């Protein structure tokens, strides 16, 4: 029940922020942050930021996500891979629907060669993909609490880098990135399987007595019955 309250709060914040910033001109904090990021970032980082942005345009983002889903499947079983894949798919579908729904104009810096300002600014697909897909992979493939926290910290750093790249290139505002993170967190939390879903596929252990907070089964050997009766879990499975 608590999980769905958190999902509801995240979605409420997502829509409230979108309604607050959809007008033109954008709020002062969006303009100020955008100006700083576009003009104060050292030139040595500009190329890396642009490369990051280019690498996450279709079809590369979907191919990266599919590779992560396959890796999660290989490491922790098919439920983990499916979780990563569904998270990416649902987030990108939500992004495709939210952009025209809010119709927020992109920053003026995005206009090139006398073109018109696109009204697809809120939310950022790049940032949403990074936070959701990498976040889902992190929680699906880690078992111990400390390892998971470190993995999510890394996801946070990569998400911040991606957001910086989009703001630096004049494609999005700070609030677009914040809304994207809210969306990603809501989807990951909503799709994350509960303990009631049981063990993973045949590669999973029983999980009894495990100190892990993960809900995906850990890889382990399948116990064999010497007498031919029902198998009993071995100590190697209770990690």
- Tokens in use for 1? 């029940």
pLDDT in tens, the chain (239 residues): 899 999 999 999 999 999 999 988 899 999 999 999 999 988 889 999 999 999 999 999 999 999 999 999 999 999 999 999 999 999 999 999 999 999 999 998 887 645 678 889 999 999 999 999 999 999 999 999 999 999 999 999 999 999 999 999 999 999 999 999 999 999 999 999 865 344 444 454 433 334 444 456 544 444 444 444 444 444 433 44
Question: What's the pLDDT at 200?
Answer: 46
- pTM of the predicted model, to two decimals? 0.82
Q: Where along the chain do its domains lie?
A: 47-108+120-195
Residues 6+ apart with CB under 8 A from 219: 75, 76, 77, 203, 204, 205
Question: What's the pLDDT at 111?
Answer: 78
CA separation for the pair 34, 28 (Å, rounded): 10
CA separation for the pair 121, 140 (Å, rounded): 30
- Tokens in use for 128? 């949403």
CA separation for the pair 122, 142 (Å, rounded): 31
CA torsion sign for 221, 225, 226, 232 is positive
Contact by Cβ (8 Å): 98, 112: no
Task: Tell me the C-alpha to C-alpha distance, in Å, between residue 140 and each of 80, 159, 182.
Answer: 5, 18, 19
> Mind listing the pLDDT tens digit for each residue in 16-69?
999 999 988 899 999 999 999 999 988 889 999 999 999 999 999 999 999 999
Helices of type H across 117-239: 125-129, 135-141, 145-168, 174-191
* DSSP letter, residue 77: -
């Amino acid at each position: 029940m608590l999980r769905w309250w958190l999902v509801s709060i995240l979605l409420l914040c997502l829509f409230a922020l979108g309604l607050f910033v959809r007008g033109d001109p954008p709020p002062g904090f969006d303009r100020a942050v955008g100006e700083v990021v576009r003009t104060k970032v050292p030139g040595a980082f500009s190329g890396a930021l642009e490369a990051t942005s280019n690498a996450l345009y279709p079809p590369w983002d979907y191919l990266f996500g599919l590779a992560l889903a396959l890796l999660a499947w290989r490491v922790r079983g098919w439920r983990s891979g499916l979780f990563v894949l569904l998270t990416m798919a649902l987030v990108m579908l939500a992004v495709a629907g939210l952009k025209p729904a809010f119709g927020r104009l992109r920053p003026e810096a995005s206009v090139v060669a006398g073109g018109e300002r696109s009204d697809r600014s809120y939310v950022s697909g790049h940032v949403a993909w990074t936070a959701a897909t990498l976040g889902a992979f992190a929680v699906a493939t880690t078992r111990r609490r400390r390892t998971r926290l470190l993995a999510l910290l890394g996801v946070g750093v990569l998400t911040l880098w991606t957001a910086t790249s989009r703001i630096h290139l004049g494609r999005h505002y700070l609030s677009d990135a914040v809304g994207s993170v809210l969306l990603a967190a809501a989807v990951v939390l909503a799709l994350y399987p509960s303990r009631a879903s049981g063990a993973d596929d045949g590669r999973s252990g029983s999980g009894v007595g495990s100190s892990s907070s993960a809900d995906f089964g850990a890889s382990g050997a399948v116990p064999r019955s010497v007498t031919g009766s029902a198998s009993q879990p071995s100590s190697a499975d209770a990690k």
